[in-house]
Amino acid sequence: MMSVPTHIAVVDDDDGIRLTLRQILEREGFQVSTCADAVEFWSVMAATPATLVLLDVQMPGEGGISIARRLRAETDAAIIMVTGLNDTVDRVIGLEVGADDYVGKPFDRRELVARIHSVLRRKGTAEVSPLAARIDRIASALEAVTDKISDVGGKVAGREHDLSRIEDMFRAKRVTSCPQCGSTITYYQAESGHLGICKACGWTHFLEDGQGQIRSET
């Protein structure tokens, strides 16, 4: 009996990227659904749930971070975030809310396929505790940035800056209340302010230095 192809949903508002990803994935034998926004995506998930979701971070309407948080809460689908090449903050937040991995734009076809197979293999193994899974995801993000630091030439200084930003974010957390749902928002210190995310509703906000007061986390 023939096996059923793994279903992958591609969520990206860029027509060209959706087409490219469909071609790559179908060539690898996957069943592919492409979605331009969150509305199309949730319709697909209601009809034929995907095993893995390739999810763009920056989209109009409901963004990738919010979709990832809801996916992790409501499904067991694997999540790979698709981010800009140097969007380190987006990657860390995506992993924080439950993404399994990330791939940067522009992506390499072989790396993309390898990451998909790696995530699918991990999803097929025994479950680990939520805390262990979260630690593993964050460690993977930090390891990826650290690996980039070892690149030769002028890239070194830039990668050190990326790593420093991540370390600062986890050292200098702040909290306040979400204006949408009232839940606690954790703000992480960024280069020129604080980046906040509400894990209850997915609301995100960048607060520049001097814009407002945020109380220290206790």
* Fold classification of 7-146 (topology level): Rossmann fold (3.40.50)
Structure tokens given for 146: 């650290």
Inter-residue contact 56 to 12 (CB < 8 Å): yes
pLDDT reading at 34 higher than 90: yes
pTM for this entry: 0.57
Q: What is the mean pLDDT of residues 77-95?
A: 75
pLDDT at 88 exceeding the cut of 90: no
Confidence grade of residue 177 (pLDDT, cut at 50, 70, 90): confident
For residue 85, the model assigns a pLDDT of 53
- 203 pLDDT more than 80: no
**Average of per-residue pLDDT across 78-83:** 90
Which of the listed ranges 90-99, 101-110, 119-128, 147-156 does the model predict with the highest average pLDDT? 101-110
Q: Which range (41-50, 78-87, 106-115, 190-199) has the least confidence?
A: 190-199
pLDDT bucket at 106, cuts 50 / 70 / 90: confident
Query: If pLDDT is split at 50, 70 and 90, which confidence band does 217 have?
Result: very low
Tokens representing 14?
């860029």
> At 113, which amino acid appears?
V
pLDDT at 147 over 70: no
Instruction: Provide CB contacts within 8 A for 117, sequence distance 6+.
Output: none
**Looking at the predicted structure, is the pLDDT value of residue 93 above 60?**
yes
Q: What whole-number distance in Å separates Cα of residue 33 and Cα of residue 189? A: 37
